[in-house]
């Protein structure tokens, strides 16, 4: 068994009570990176452990006998400090590190059917020093420097924002489970999405594809692979997210009424404390027939789709064969669906409902397309500047009777 570290100042109550009273604790290095801390108070002193983080765990036996629980001697405090720092006991009391927060986040994603890549992508961009850092000691400065470093290393701004968003979700989960973590403002401020300079730059043009382009993409995806084509077909027709399409089961297909073909799509998990909800989304007869065929082949105990890995790369290969913009992604199908309904003058509340989003988000993202749709509607109420026919517009006076004088 390893020897305990000796300290003449802290070894017994007599020597400890001779120390000046002060707020900062007296520290003793008991192992590499681990300190036993004693705070001298007006009353009984307290024992704490510091290992990149600080945690108080017992009262010193300055005025009452040690019980190796709530009141500890110098030697008992050393053992407890080492146990807490190394996690050999009382793991629930050990402050969670960034690495442990990511492990918990990955497990939570797996339970909820989310993509574990959201957690692993963060881990791949974190240095060992930051992974071992205790969450409650994270500062906004080091988080800002980390996220800005991703862009400096050549990562796209959108990718850095996406990784930062996943990191923030992992830290929020850790703070939710451990009420001692109170520095959540650090990552909420430091990991806000970055915006590129030059707000006057022209808007993106790859939000929208005409129907002919989308149909060509769907057809080419079917040629590439039947499962891949079927999933892209669902995304193109419904405008839903990939994560929502992967939750479709055979019983979610409602094709018994030819006049009301639709699927029941689960809403995403976005938002706080959101209850599970399904919403009906209309589909075409061709898509309904395809989904019914898949439902019959896969059976009632399997979802209609399995996750397709490297989906963006496969989608890009299809775009290359069709000689289309390679910056397009499968999410363009969702953009196109929303814009198509906006241009058809569908009320925004209905567009938001069927696409599981909000009117505010639609107005923010698709403002330029709203302008075109609003002009088409307001033209109907414009004052027509034309020369009127005075004789035709003159009111008939046949029913006017002169009053007697």
> Of the ranges 186-195, 287-296, 362-371, which is most confident?
287-296
Strands (E), 217-319: 253-254, 262-266, 278-282
Q: Which residues of 93-111 are buried (b: 16+ CB within 10 A; e: fewer)?
A: ebbbbbbbbbebbbebbee
Tell me: the pLDDT tens digits for 317-326? 999 999 988 8
Give 167's Cβ-side CA count (13 Å radius).
Answer: 31
Give all domains of the chain, ordered by start, each with its CATH number.
13-93 (no CATH), 98-190 (1.10.150), 211-380 (1.10.443.10)
Whether the predicted pLDDT of 52 surpasses 80: no
More confident residue, 95 or 341: 341
Confidence of residue 304 (pLDDT cuts 50, 70, 90): very high
Which residue in this structure is represented by tokens 């938001």?
Answer: 352
By three-state DSSP, how is residue 122 classified?
Answer: helix
The pTM (predicted TM-score) of the whole model is 0.58
Give me the chain's average pLDDT, please: 83
Whole-number Å distance between alpha carbons of 231 and 72: 63
Q: List, in order, residues 6 or more apart from 53 with CB less than 8 Å away.
A: 95, 134, 136, 137
Are the C-beta atoms of 262 and 292 separated by less than 8 Å? no
Confidence of residue 194 (pLDDT cuts 50, 70, 90): confident
- Distance between terminal CA atoms of the chain? 128
């Amino acid at each position: 068994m390893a020897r305990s570290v000796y300290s003449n100042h802290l070894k017994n109550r007599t020597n400890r009570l001779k120390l000046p009273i002060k707020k900062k604790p007296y520290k003793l290095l008991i192992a590499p990176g681990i300190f036993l801390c004693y705070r001298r108070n007006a009353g009984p002193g307290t024992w704490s452990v510091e290992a990149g983080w600080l945690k108080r765990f017992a009262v010193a036996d300055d005025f009452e006998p040690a019980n190796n629980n709530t009141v500890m001697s110098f030697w008992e405090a050393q053992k407890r400090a080492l146990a807490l720092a190394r996690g050999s006991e009382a793991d629930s009391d050990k402050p969670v590190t960034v690495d442990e927060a990511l492990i918990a986040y990955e497990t939570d994603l797996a339970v909820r059917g989310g993509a574990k890549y959201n957690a692993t992508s963060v881990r791949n961009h974190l240095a060992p020093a930051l992974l071992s850092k205790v969450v409650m000691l994270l500062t906004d400065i080091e988080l800002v420097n980390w996220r800005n470093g991703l862009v400096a290393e050549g990562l796209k701004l959108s990718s850095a924002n996406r990784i930062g968003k996943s990191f923030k979700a992992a830290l929020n989960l850790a703070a939710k489970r451990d009420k001692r973590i109170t520095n959540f403002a650090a990552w909420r401020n430091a990991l806000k999405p970055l915006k590129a300079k030059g707000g006057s730059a022209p808007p993106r043009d790859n939000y929208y594809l005409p129907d002919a382009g989308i149909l060509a993409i769907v057809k080419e995806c079917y040629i590439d692979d039947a499962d891949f084509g079927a999933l892209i077909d669902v995304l193109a027709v419904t405008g839903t997210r990939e994560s929502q399409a992967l939750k479709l089961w055979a019983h979610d297909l409602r094709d018994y009424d030819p006049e009301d073909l639709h699927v029941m799509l689960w809403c995403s998990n976005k938002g706080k404390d959101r209850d599970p909800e399904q919403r009906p989304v209309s589909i075409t007869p061709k898509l309904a027939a395809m989904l019914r065929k898949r439902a019959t082949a896969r059976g009632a105990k399997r979802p209609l789709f399995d996750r397709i890995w490297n989906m963006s790369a496969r989608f890009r290969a299809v775009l290359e064969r069709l000689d289309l913009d390679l910056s397009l992604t499968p999410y363009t199908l969702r953009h196109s669906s929303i814009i198509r309904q906006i241009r058809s003058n569908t009320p925004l509340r209905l567009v938001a409902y069927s696409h599981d989003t909000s009117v505010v988000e639609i107005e923010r993202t698709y403002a330029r397309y709203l302008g075109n749709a609003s002009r088409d509607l307001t033209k109907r109420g414009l004052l027509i500047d034309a020369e009127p026919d005075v004789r035709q517009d003159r009111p008939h006076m046949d029913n006017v009777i002169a009053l007697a004088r």
